[in-house]
Structure 1
């Protein structure tokens, strides 16, 4: 009997093992094989998709697998799948994280073992304690680490054409909650995975509609057809990954909200561009204020992931040779800036779900061909690959699983590093300068001083306030970021590779705010300061008596919107601007000062408080002063259909400032009669040259409608057309010329100014050779040449601006009075007076060189780096070119760059205030 009982127990034991063996979904796994073009692109580890009895796989939910040929899903379809996972698995939590500009919802999906999801708030509280070493001692931190779990944040779909990762993450999520593979179980049990499934839902839906409307089934990838929808977000295109300092767009606000709620230990952003899989570390130079621990983690994790992909037989994975690691304004850099670890992947993508023969034989990164075998790329791809959507899914998913597995195996070390980085920042704040920064409230633009304080708080930096100033102490967890934002950057001139983006971001210069740094805080009366817990605002005031209101002008950012608001409230109000500095009642008022009559104290108080402007009342007779009536213009902002990036930033800036405008395109130029509709046309920076501006999207692809339809409901916003192809043509350009000749003002920014010169719309301007100049986005000095121009009202003779690698323009020497502002302080070579003998004239007396100059050279670069700056100094920054009855105002830099260089923008506002007085 005992023998039989033992046999029965043995049979039950082996029977239980059999029942626990996971049933695989053979149909799903076979379809993965079918849609993969080469067995080397498919690791065996991905061929274990489970056939779960109650949790639906993507195949069961959608009727096809992830990565199936010709199949992509809109946001509602993707969200619906995650909702189904949350309904059927206790290991999935789904939460809203705000809304986009167009009203779509941001979601986060949280995956972990059941206890982790049930106690999610506790785990978030633990990482929050580790984030602030002032609240948590090293001993307390070790106890927390023993119980805490690393939180690993994955995000996808930031750039709409990069379509693989948002699809892949659905399959990964299913795998994480159903697979019994040891590696997946280890991930599930030891870390909490947070998925941002679609970082930019607005752009994703537009791109999905674009794919089904235009690009699905095209035979060739490189056929010239635009693979991207013209708009992603309402305002911002690819720069939605350059908003991490401004935090202006809904996508960035959602990412920041997620970071400060979860304090993830690692954040990994999934992108697509280079072949076949790039795992970020960057070539350097690395940002000076990133903790060395983070820099080392980049290397360890990057090489781990490359090794894991190579170990599974997959070619083409590499690290190092793409990107640098300097600019701190990428979305995922919320992690690197706040003591976490921010990483990204770049997988080869086809901007859709079709298969193409791709040629990567000429692709080169960091000087090496993408097909070369290097220390950082142990197994390169062949010069051509037949690349499918499923290949992309395989590569990204394999890399992500490897990265999650690293975190699961090294979680305690990652958590300890996270705490240690914050601890290092606090200690540096105690011992290294600056010990604090102060921002006086009384500034030339006090509203911008408050704005700077608010921007620091958005970054999680603590700001204290007294009656007279703001105080930011360095002894806090994000001290490194604080110092980075408030002091000039110095990019190495000998860097081997060009920077990936801009290289300077000193906020006091970009905002035009005076900031003081303190190396000793012992003399401060800290009791006079209160910690700010909500947004601060400068409330303007009114002083004096009388029924005339004066606004002393110092190029404040909010003056123009205040004038529009006043006229909307009281159309009879009269506004004038002083044409030069005047002495009024014993006080000096600078040129540009605003005089308002036929208004009342209630109206002035309203705009004073709303826009942070200080007014003075007077009963003086202002008719005796040299002034110009202000006629607020009807403004149009022009956009092309082939490049909407910077006009989006311009639209955003105008809307944030409260400046009304009309958006126009090629069809408006072709229709003509522009002067009857508009006074000013702004052409923001646009890529390309005169040919691309005139011709637009190749007309051979037309008609190409961008209209909202029942089938494609996301299209037609924020602008619509029945045909995107073609440009304004020479007829439209001639209408633009006529607009200026009839008295209109054309403002062209950066590359667009060069295009206008090429087209002859600014006939006195010509391209100027830039020699060997290399001028990545840096803060540099400019000097006013025409102090009588209203464009420079409110600015000192010398001031800083932000400039990137834009083209240079110049006039003939006899026309240099058209140059309002120049770069640097020295004149151009042809403007240096000849100092030698002149035949037919008596010799001039010799002048000792010490009498002509003090021998000092003022630096051109404030922050960043410029190579061969001698090739730009003396060239024009801003030109005012009369054409007919109107003017072309050409900026050779972008004063509306990414809603970031607010100090430069008032030159545009001055232009609008004085649009009809520039002759």
Structure 2
């Protein structure tokens, strides 16, 4: 062995010492996450920070990410606008004040923009969307929306173009608060989160701002939020009295507002869907409250069989990152897996899961208000393989604890998404690409809704619902002939609707139109529901595996389908008009529209000429009704898609 000279040996030792020092620093940094996150020269809002500490019941219910609030000379904190900090005991914020704060934030920070959702709530309240990112990103917001839109449709983007778009683009991470009105913490937390993202200058927050765009819906159920605050304030003002119960949160809807993903009957669901189709976010994160202390969703399975397996993997990637990072920080009771299954697509966050994005949720421990309460933790508190760091058996729980837990975990997920910007954008593109290839690789080829429907109005409404979900629907230009799986010929007339499976949202369409076969040996599902649209609407729908259907002449439907009804028979038609009872829901609407008109209902089937009429058909006699009956009836049936026959 060659002997080292003294100078060389000294240099060698110095290099080794430097190397091990670097390893020690790195290891210490890994063990102490705050060292890379907290800017030592940052100036905090001391008054706000003191209240965070006061309202947090134990040190293990906070992290270095949220145990302080950065100060700003120009941008107002929630306390400066509302008079109290997020998570203040006995204080909940009305929708109008939530919105007032976000508008003040946007007015004073170029890193924040506020948009109004397309529809107002059923009671006339606005729903807001807030965007937070670096100023340079928000200036180019339309460009980043264009990028995600192009990645969402690989039919217009090849792989080389996609690589360039992924390199340029920023993922959208969308957090949505309080769809369930009794789950009160997330709107308060989102106030502070937006401020923190806008003003804090730590490398951790800068990463989120620079490499992603955060979207925030402060409260989704805006009507129910205000009712909940009213009831809570009544309880505080009238101790010992029974407070009014909330039979409904929104207009005739309560907890089931998060089961509207199939019907999209509520303005809040339609707003989420339309906003998704405008921004194409990579993550939609729905914030809930129930079990201790913070559950981050993955589900136990059986998982929805129509989802791309990649999205299920992404649920786990994000959830285990949060669990690991929160556990490293000494926070108890953060876990995943054992809460719901992941089967039914009726939840709001299927706005994302059904469209090649990541839909996920939290359940954070809450007290159903803003009280600080001693709680005995019973359910979901035992140690298990998926919950090795279980919640404490007894706890003093505050709204501020809730704010700390949600905000810390959410920041960790947002930072991870920003750090892995290209991975999430690439997966988004890849899932879209795999969806377009579904007809060729997995099947079926299409679904056909025959044009000779006995219920054309229901068929049209089903088509319009699919279109609202972003699913493309085509109309046949001529007769279609295909083979079924038994090689038997099937024929469909011109005008039949076709839902192709070679489109970006084929998985959502397949999910909605296929038949579910739940394994009887699996555990009872979290939501015991079925959802086949054709069956739900009593509309014949045919699953087609013959790839020839994709070559048939058809045209894309570009606006909602409207079936025009008609009144047949001469102007001086006989003594009555008959409307067949074919289970169209608009028959009930007709009865209300013609509320002053006398209408009889047939108790048995009958025949007029060559036409059969079912039991339940409407018989409207001219005698005893308005002399203007024909005009009124014709206007009503034309609008409702019904056919009235003069006899």
TM over 0.5, yes or no? yes
Counterpart pick for 2:447 among 437, 442, 445: 437
1:594 paired residue number: 618
Give CA-to-partner distance per residue, 1:281-314, whole Å, 9 cap, x none: 0111100011100000111111100111111111
Change in CA separation of 1:561 and 1:395 when aligned onto 2, cut-off 3 Å: same
2:248 paired residue number: 231
8 Å CA contact retained: 1:441, 1:450 = no
8 Å CA contact retained: 1:280, 1:319 = yes
Q: Give the SS at the match of 1:554.
A: coil
Give the distance between the partners of 2:358 and 2:533, measured in 1 at CA: 23
1:782 paired residue number: none
The alignment of Structure 1 onto Structure 2 pairs a total of residues equal to 583
1:403 paired residue number: 413
Deviation at 1:349, TM superposition (A): 0.5
Change in CA separation of 1:157 and 1:66 when aligned onto 2, cut-off 3 Å: same
1:487 paired residue number: 514
Give the distance between the partners of 2:237 and 2:324, measured in 1 at CA: 35
Counterpart pick for 1:205 among 205, 226, 229: 226
Change in CA separation of 1:380 and 1:608 when aligned onto 2, cut-off 3 Å: same
2:65 paired residue number: 45
1:605 paired residue number: 634
Q: Give the SS at the match of 2:548.
A: coil
Give the distance between the partners of 1:488 and 1:408, measured in 2 at CA: 38
Q: Give the SS at the match of 1:376.
A: coil
Which structure carries more helix by proportion? 2
Deviation at 1:485, TM superposition (A): 1.1
Counterpart pick for 2:168 among 139, 147, 153: 147
Give CA-to-partner distance per residue, 1:72-98, whole Å, 9 cap, x none: 211111111111111111000101003
Counterpart pick for 1:58 among 69, 78, 97: 78
Change in CA separation of 1:412 and 1:228 when aligned onto 2, cut-off 3 Å: farther
8 Å CA contact retained: 1:284, 1:325 = yes
1:69 paired residue number: 89
Give the distance between the partners of 1:381 and 1:152, measured in 2 at CA: 28
Give the distance between the partners of 1:189 and 1:576, measured in 2 at CA: 68
Change in CA separation of 1:419 and 1:40 when aligned onto 2, cut-off 3 Å: same
Give the distance between the partners of 1:583 and 1:178, measured in 2 at CA: 75
1:344 paired residue number: 361
8 Å CA contact retained: 1:57, 1:174 = yes
Matched, 1:195 2:227: no
Gap regions ≥5 residues in structure 2? 1-38, 477-493
1:295 paired residue number: 312
Give the distance between the partners of 1:495 and 1:96, measured in 2 at CA: 43
Deviation at 1:58, TM superposition (A): 1.8
Counterpart pick for 1:559 among 554, 579, 587: 587
Give the distance between the partners of 2:146 and 2:549, measured in 1 at CA: 36
8 Å CA contact retained: 1:40, 1:313 = yes
Give the distance between the partners of 1:60 and 1:589, measured in 2 at CA: 69
8 Å CA contact retained: 1:283, 1:323 = yes
Deviation at 1:490, TM superposition (A): 1.1
Matches within 5 A, 1:95-134: 95-97=115-117, 98-134=119-155
Counterpart pick for 2:498 among 457, 471, 486: 471
8 Å CA contact retained: 1:41, 1:395 = yes
Counterpart pick for 1:319 among 315, 326, 336: 336
Give the distance between the partners of 1:52 and 1:345, measured in 2 at CA: 30
Give the distance between the partners of 1:80 and 1:49, measured in 2 at CA: 20
Deviation at 1:352, TM superposition (A): 1.2
Q: Give the SS at the match of 1:145.
A: helix
Q: Give the SS at the match of 1:381.
A: coil
Deviation at 1:525, TM superposition (A): 7.2
Gap regions ≥5 residues in structure 1? 1-18, 364-369, 619-919
Change in CA separation of 1:238 and 1:227 when aligned onto 2, cut-off 3 Å: farther
Deviation at 1:582, TM superposition (A): 2.5
Counterpart pick for 2:156 among 106, 128, 135: 135
Give the distance between the partners of 2:176 and 2:550, measured in 1 at CA: 44
Give the distance between the partners of 2:408 and 2:239, measured in 1 at CA: 28
Structure number with greater CO (CA < 8 Å, separation at least 6) is 2
Give the distance between the partners of 1:586 and 1:116, measured in 2 at CA: 67
Deviation at 1:550, TM superposition (A): 1.8
TM-score if structure 1 supplies the norm length? 0.62
Q: Give the SS at the match of 1:105.
A: coil
